[in-house]
Chain A
């Protein structure tokens, strides 16, 4: 079966712009989570959605937002981009919460 699909794979944006990243979970998976990976901070939790409801949010500023659609696909948006937002953004999905998550290949965002 198809894995977790993240688009785009690579993105270059200018400081101050906004960006939207997309994640299509494995078919039948209803829980979708987002993580940011940077060399300095490692892997950090952004938010988790289950059946279109955000159940948990990490310690990130309000510029970071997300949503989940009825087909479980999820998007995350970052507004007013800063240089420090340059990172690998990873999405993960699972059938049930807290059981066996599968990660996508990530979106590598560079802010210049």
Chain B
């Protein structure tokens, strides 16, 4: 199966700071999504981004499919951004998840 490396594993930020999360894939994927897992366990879809760049408010994501990596940018972080962020690549109708980045934003 595909190996997904996420970095950093843990991140502590002061409110207002910016951050970049990275995801590397061992092989090409057909679908790539970024998720935020809320305290109740639900995976909230942030971006569907198999290639290119997308922005949604303070969040943006870039995927360079030819080099098999994706980046998630969080600008002007807020305490509500805290939680675990996962990237996942799909091939063969199956998501391969990274191990997540645990983000803590302190006021």
Contacts and interface: CB of A to CB of B under 8 A. Distances in A.
Interface in A92-112: 92, 97-106, 108
A62 interface: no
The SS class assigned to the B binding surface is: strand
B5 to A, nearest CB: 12
A99 B32 CA distance: 9
Interface in A53-104: 55-56, 58, 88, 90, 92, 97-104
Contact of B95 (A35, A88, A108): A35
A97 B95 CA distance: 11
B43 interface: yes
A22 interface: no
Nearest to B44: A103
A100 to B, nearest CB: 4
A92 B44 CA distance: 11
Contacts, number: 62
A17 B3 CA distance: 34
A33 B31 contact: no
Interface string B47-84: 01000000000000000000000000000000000000
A24 interface: no
For this complex, into which size category does the number of interface residues on chain B fall?
20 to 34
Interface of A: 31, 33, 35, 37, 42-45, 48, 50, 55-56, 58, 88, 90, 92, 97-106, 108
28 contacts: A33-B94, A35-B95, A35-B97, A42-B100, A43-B86, A43-B88, A43-B95, A44-B97, A55-B93, A56-B92, A90-B41, A90-B43, A92-B95, A97-B93, A98-B31, A98-B91, A100-B33, A100-B45, A100-B48, A101-B31, A101-B33, A101-B45, A101-B90, A101-B95, A103-B35, A103-B45, A105-B41, A108-B41
Closest 5 CB pairs of A and B: A43-B97, A103-B43, A100-B48, A105-B42, A98-B31
Interface of B: 30-31, 33, 35, 40-45, 48, 86, 88, 90-97, 99-100
